[in-house]
Structure 1
């Protein structure tokens, strides 16, 4: 493959990975602003058109009022307030659709033009499938928060409607898989082989260490998704001691013990900082022992 084609394909995949990263950031903002359940329907094409007239906004708001989040959390929400949270979820969905088009349309064009090598076809195909699955899985996740569970969620109680933390973690996992794999392929295309050849030995040793660090980073991110899914981020406001103890009483008293780290708001906040410690050490070790010895072109 010519260098010109490698560069075009590399820029395409790098751009797609940036868009996936942007979707993760926008999704995080959507979660923080409690906007994720504001759109109660999903239509691939029809859903691209937002409400425009006051009548359409009123109809959308009335539909939202039928679901648990309004009844339990946002009883006092005005139409203007609803418009604000709606816009974040709408932006997130539109960004996701744009990301899908950025992956699917060029992939089909490059495939038809014969630009993709057999190795790249084995990657472009799964990327296309994953980006479609990500959109469908996003709606599957949202549905878990829209489901009415009157026996569990009642006005005036501490429990609030939220998406399943398991589905939220799955949604983030798919995004991280897409982001990292596309970026990895893009960098491989954009780095001329001649710049890497002299350092193949060091690069191979670095690869094994980086894979371990990547796995730890991934686990840290996913544990953060469970914290977000359970609204547990502010349970403990200090570290390494939490609630003034090395092992908080809330954790020690949990029963049964099995699976509580995924289900209890008092247990989840402990995981990201604990996972972050070995992650930091791995990154420092890799940088100090191998990464600094490589040339700039090889590092890229």
Structure 2
């Protein structure tokens, strides 16, 4: 793509920002237990919220058929329900707005033939994944409308990881449209960065599992887990591998352990690549994310900190992708 198409760069960057905003609002939706307040998925007519008292009463009556209402929120008032509903509504509305921001300029650029073949293929994939994300989002919500008053942590994780894939493709395409600054590094350092990137993806996945299982509400101490390095109940489930996905103790332990491993690797790569200013941004991201994570744990998952922790993970990921995008191996 020609570098003078700065409008395409701005568009792709705006799409990335919209993904981050949706991640934040999605976190708020989950933490306020608002995600199950809208019991239907209407991609077109669902854009219109309840407009009068009768509409609100109808929506609340639908909510009263859900397990969440029957077992947890049976005393919720209409006023309280409106707050829950509007948070979930905003999250869904942002999804539609993001779609408009993506497809509107895309149609224009396509008509003007401003997109090269490689970018077109990538945008087709993003389009498919965006539609799939809407389906997965509803599939996740639906898991909390049948028997249990909460969504499946597996589906929640899939929803977040799919958002990460879409974010990666948009971010990578954005990077391809701007001037590339080259960092010449060794094969070992390149390997370090790729390992860090893989661990960040794993950490994001485990963050979703922690959220879905409410594992952040236990062991609210740091660095030890209630005074222990290896907490009790780490492998009480059978078969043993189930603990890594369903045991709240193990899931939080892995999330902590992977986080500490990433910090150590970032410290090592910062020392090795200290001549490149960009690694200090990576170091700053690490420190901020670490402080947010500890704050979320010690203060029993406050909504703002937890949502910022989730967004920061994506920003952290984006910085590593940028460094890898600019990196070239030495010719030794």
Range into which the TM-score falls when normalised by the shorter chain: 0.7 to 0.9
Alignment pair present for 1:226 and 2:209: yes
Corresponding position of 2:37: 38
From 208, 233, 251, the counterpart of 1:268: 251
Superposed CA deviations along residues 128-157 of structure 1, whole A, max 9, x for unmatched, are 11111111110011001111x2xxx5xxxx
C-alpha displacement at 1:86, in angstroms? 0.6
Corresponding position of 1:26: 25
Corresponding position of 1:156: none
Superposed CA deviations along residues 178-227 of structure 1, whole A, max 9, x for unmatched, are 11221122123122x5xx3xx46339876544332221111111101011
TM-score, normalised with respect to structure 1: 0.87
Bigger radius of gyration, 1 or 2?
1
- 3-state secondary structure, aligned to 1:36: coil
Task: Map residues 1-300 of structure 1 onto 2, 5 A cutoff.
Answer: 1-5=1-5, 7-147=6-146, 149=147, 161-191=149-179, 193=180, 196=181, 199=182, 201-202=184-185, 208-290=191-273, 292-293=275-276
Structure 2 unpaired stretches of 5+ = 280-321, 327-332
- After the TM superposition, which parts of structure 1 deviate over 4 Å for at least 4 consecutive aligned residues? 203-208
**Taking structure 1 as reference, are residues 208 and 122 closer, same or farther at Cα in structure 2, changes over 3 Å only?**
farther
- 3-state secondary structure, aligned to 1:123: helix
C-alpha displacement at 1:251, in angstroms? 1.8
- 3-state secondary structure, aligned to 1:40: coil
CA contact 1:206–1:291 (8 Å) conserved in 2 = no
CA contact 1:166–1:226 (8 Å) conserved in 2 = yes
C-alpha displacement at 1:229, in angstroms? 0.7
CA contact 1:64–1:70 (8 Å) conserved in 2 = yes
- 3-state secondary structure, aligned to 1:266: helix
CA contact 2:2–2:177 (8 Å) conserved in 1 = no
> For the residues of structure 1 that align with 2:134 and 2:190, how far apart are their CA atoms?
31
> For the residues of structure 2 that align with 1:200 and 1:227, how far apart are their CA atoms?
36
